[in-house]
């Protein structure tokens, strides 16, 4: 039975990846950081089938200890401070988690079993930032626009460097935005679908957003974790862009989401200048042709399906949890 360790198992991607690996017959180990309350909302349904270990990307020896105990064949590094606006508020911490944390994990792998453990690093389309080419592919130069993007560029290159320096099987997946009903509510897709559900049920009157003009290549997280797994099953390690090849503006996202419940978005959305970022990534659109050709990977869920699925998941959640008397349908 293959063994895998996932850092960031409590996050959106960690939960989908744990499900996928279990379905592929793996013994799954997740790394969780210590907190005063448990944060297992996304993995509650899995806790009897996965083993959790306390460790932290800030603490080198905790990582080495987990790898020595588990002796996995695969390590997926999904842990990060992943919210772009927070990276301007906490730039040093973001660097520690998202950049230096990658070196700590790679060092732990190098010390424990450099030839036997394969490593996946969660790189990001944020590295393309002020894009130098459209669409973005593996060879497109990076131009990050936030402390988060800069930290991810470091994580990307240190992963390539350990591959080239030590002959380790380390890969970086350059993943474009991927979403789901498990997405954190601070990210724009979930903020919109949650907002639409609340407005529809009379629990909110408006939805305050920032830049409606920026464009993203949005896919479904469940499709993207399969690409992570496929990258570690190849004969040779390599880096891949994972994207749908389509781009949509935040405005289109908003319109699609309000259309799902038959409401006119213009009546509810307020553009709030306070939410404009110090430096914006205006346009992301990926070219996934290498992943399609080499990995045989293809996204299954389309943009309208993704938005619909998220809107209805949020509606159902409020319908389940908020008493009818409290709601005043829009």
Catalytic residue annotation: 124, 126, 148
CB 257 within 8 A of CB 209: no
**Does 209 sit near ligand G4F (CB under 6 A)?**
yes
Kind plus residue range of the DSSP H or E element containing 165: helix 147-166
Of 159, 181, 157, 155, nearest in space to 168 by CA: 159
| Structure tokens that stand for 270 in this block | 């307020």
Minimum distance of ligand G4F from residue 1's CB (angstroms): 32
What is the Cα–Cα distance from 304 to 253, expressed in whole angstroms? 9
Q: Is 193 in the site for ligand NAP (CB under 6 A)?
A: no
Contact between 232 and 171 (Cβ < 8 Å)? yes
Q: Counting contacts by CB under 6 A, is residue 156 touching ligand NAP?
A: no
Rounded Cα–Cα distance for residues 109 and 116 (Å)? 9
- Taking the least distance from each CB to ligand NAP, the nearer of 173 and 210 is 173
Q: Cβ closer to ligand G4F: 84 or 307?
A: 84
Which of 253, 233, 229 is closest to 242 using CA atoms?
229
Q: Say how far apart CA 199 and CA 328 lie, in whole Å.
A: 9
In residues, how long is the chain? Answer: 330
Positions 75 through 94 that interact with ligand NAP (CB under 6 A): 78-82
Interface with ligand G4F, residue 211, by CB under 6 A: yes
By CB under 6 A, which span of 17-25, 124-132, 288-296, 298-306 interacts with ligand G4F? 124-132
Give the shortest CB-299-to-ligand G4F separation in angstroms: 15
Nearest distance, CB of residue 77 and ligand G4F, angstroms: 13
- In the complex with ligand NAP, the residue whose CB is nearer, 103 or 327, is 103
Q: Which does 58 bind (CB under 5 to 8 A by kind): ligand NAP, ligand G4F, none?
A: ligand NAP
- Residue 94 binds which one of ligand G4F, ligand NAP, none, with CB within 5 to 8 A depending on kind? none
* Stretch of 41-49, 54-62, 207-215, 316-324 contacting ligand G4F, by CB under 6 A: 207-215
User: CB count, 10 Å around CB of 185?
Assistant: 11
**Of 2, 86, 24, which is closest to residue 225 (Cα–Cα)?**
24
CB closer to ligand G4F, 210 vs 222: 210
- Which positions from 113 to 152 touch ligand NAP by CB under 6 A, shown as an x/- string? ---------x-x----------------------------
CB count in 10 Å sphere of residue 165: 12
Q: Which of 177, 189, 247, 256 binds ligand NAP (CB under 6 A)?
A: 177
Least gap, CB of 174 to ligand NAP (angstroms): 8
User: Could you tell me if 111 and 40 are in contact, meaning their C-beta atoms sit under 8 angstroms apart?
Assistant: no
Stretch that binds ligand G4F, among 1-9, 89-97, 161-169, 211-219 (CB under 6 A): 211-219
Answer yes or no whether residue 191 interacts with ligand NAP by CB under 6 A.
Answer: no
Tell which one of 136, 177, 247, 256 touches ligand G4F (CB under 6 A): 177
First-to-final CA distance of the chain:
53
Classify each residue of 37-49 as buried b or exposed e, where b means 16 or more C-beta atoms within 10 Å of its C-beta.
Answer: eeebebbeebeee
Residue 14 CA from chain centroid, whole number: 9
């Amino acid at each position: 039975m293959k063994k895998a360790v996932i850092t960031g198992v409590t996050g959106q991607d960690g939960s989908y990846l744990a499900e996928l690996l279990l379905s592929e017959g793996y013994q799954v180990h997740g790394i969780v950081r210590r907190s005063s309350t448990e944060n297992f909302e996304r993995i509650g349904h899995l806790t009897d089938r996965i083993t959790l270990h306390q460790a932290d990307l800030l603490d080198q020896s905790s990582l080495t200890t987990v790898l020595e105990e588990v002796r996995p064949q695969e390590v997926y590094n999904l842990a990060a401070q992943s919210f772009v606006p927070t990276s301007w508020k906490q730039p040093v911490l973001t660097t520690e988690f998202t950049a230096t944390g990658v070196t700590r994990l790679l060092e732990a792998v190098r010390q424990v079993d450099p030839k036997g453990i394969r490593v996946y690093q969660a790189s990001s389309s944020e590295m393309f930032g002020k894009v130098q080419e459209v669409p973005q592919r593996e060879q497109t130069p990076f131009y990050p626009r936030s402390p988060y993007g800069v930290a991810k560029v470091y994580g990307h290159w240190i992963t390539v460097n350990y591959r080239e320096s030590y002959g380790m099987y380390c890969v970086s997946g350059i993943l474009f935005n991927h979403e789901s009903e498990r997405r954190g509510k601070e990210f724009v897709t979930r903020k919109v679908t949650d907002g639409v559900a609340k407005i529809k049920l009379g629990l909110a009157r408006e939805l305050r957003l920032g830049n409606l003009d920026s464009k993203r290549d949005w896919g479904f997280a469940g499709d993207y974790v399969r690409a992570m797994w496929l990258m570690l099953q190849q004969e040779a390690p390599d880096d891949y862009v994972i994207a749908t090849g389509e781009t949509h503006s935040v405005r289109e996202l908003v319109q699609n989401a309000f259309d799902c419940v038959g409401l006119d978005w213009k009546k509810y959305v307020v553009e709030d200048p306070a939410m404009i970022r110090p430096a914006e990534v205006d346009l992301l659109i990926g070219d996934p042709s290498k992943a399609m050709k080499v990995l045989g990977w293809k996204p299954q869920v389309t943009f309208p399906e993704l938005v619909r699925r998220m809107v209805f998941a949020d509606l159902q959640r409020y319908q389940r949890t908020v008493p009818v008397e409290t709601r005043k349908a829009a």
